[in-house]
Amino acid sequence: MKILVTGGTGYIGSHTVVELQNEGYEVVIIDNLSNSDRTVVDSIAEITNHVPVFEELDLVDRAATFACIEKHKDIVGVIHFAALKAVGESVEKPLLYYYNNLTSLINLLLAMQKFDLQNFVFSSSCTVYGQPDQLPVGEQAPLKKAESPYGNTKKISEDIIRDSVDAGSMNAISLRYFNPIGAHDTALIGELPLGVPNNLVPYITQTAIGKRDHLKIFGKDYSTHDGTAIRDYIHVVDLARAHVVAVKRMLQGNSKIPFEIFNLGTGNGFTVLEVIKAFEKVSGEKLNYQFTGRRKGDIEKVWADTSFANQELGWKAALGLEEMMLSAWNWELALSNRFT
């Protein structure tokens, strides 16, 4: 069975392609390589002993998208990762983000409609909850005004998908990721941040390896047990496996409603200092860090209520914080070997 994975050479997409191929699915990747590298296809092939089909194209190009889907119209499911995702950049270039993320989605849904493809999995984000009134946050929690144009593209995308499902025969599942971190245990694929990383874990590993002088911890006066902000970090391999489960659920006709939404996290929150401590323990490195003021737009604490995903999908995150940090560190070491 053939699955289309857009953004399949990206961070989460590449791990998902590996899990799909390990489960015997044929994969077609669409990516415009705006935030990833063609060599990822070779790494996926090395891990799985199977080369995925790779189509380099930009999903904002409707004609090219239609031609590609027509060529692969035996696809039975689509997992849509392709998007721009840098929160800060989206504040500076909102139109780029709305244009890329929403036009890609609409073109893909139009192509699915034209070629009668029915099963759609979407990469959403816990950013849609903002700072929740109650923790852990469940899927029914009210959505808050987005803190950034990027976050708003996720809210609007979910509305577009819901309306499309209501209007036709398509099924969809939106997966709201909490904070994906870590890398594949082969250290052949992982996150490849371009330039200075915005996210905590690549910043930690780049500091430890000497690419950055020190980590700035944003805020030490939050109302948490050590004053630093709390997030629900999830291993990217656990996240990838949830996508395979979601696709199977739709293929087997097990969806309870045509548009389902699931939180993907571990259900555990960790502070920034706890993440650093886990990193220092597994790597044996001492991290150079300093406290600075809060980062604009950051929330204080969030972690997922995962009970609905656990029960309905029969999926549960299995890997812990230390495994996440060790795999992230091994990936950073592998990257530094690659480029020296």
Shortest distance, CB of residue 83 to ligand NAD, whole angstroms?
Answer: 3
Whether the bond into 132 is cis, omega within 30 of 0:
no
- Residue 10 binds ligand NAD, judged by CB under 6 A: yes
Instruction: Look up residue 100 and give its amino acid.
Output: N
Residues 257 and 144: their CA atoms lie apart, in Å, by 24
Residues 76 and 24: their CA atoms lie apart, in Å, by 14
Residues 16 and 11: their CA atoms lie apart, in Å, by 9
- Residue 261 binds ligand NAD, judged by CB under 6 A: no
Q: Quick one: 180 or 182, whose CB is closer to ligand NAD?
A: 180
Out of 97, 150, 177, 222, the active site residue is 150
**Scanning residues 84 to 143, which ones bind ligand NAD (CB under 6 A)?**
84-85, 100, 104, 123, 125
Residues 217 and 129: their CA atoms lie apart, in Å, by 23
Residues 297 and 318: their CA atoms lie apart, in Å, by 30
34 binds, among ligand NAD, ligand WQD, none (CB under 5 to 8 A by kind): ligand NAD
| Token output for 271 | 């502070």
In the numeric block, the tokens 């979407």 are attached to 122
- Residue 12 binds ligand WQD, judged by CB under 6 A: no
- Residue 298 binds ligand WQD, judged by CB under 6 A: yes
| Token output for 216 | 């700035």
Pairing status of strand 26-31 against strand 53-56? parallel
- Residue 117 binds ligand WQD, judged by CB under 6 A: no
Shortest distance, CB of residue 221 to ligand NAD, whole angstroms?
Answer: 25
Q: Which stretch binds ligand NAD (CB under 6 A): 81-89, 164-172, 269-277, 313-321?
A: 81-89
Catalytic residues: 150
Task: Please give the residue ranges that form the binding site for ligand NAD (CB under 6 A).
Answer: 7, 9-13, 30-36, 58-60, 81-85, 100, 104, 123, 125, 177, 180
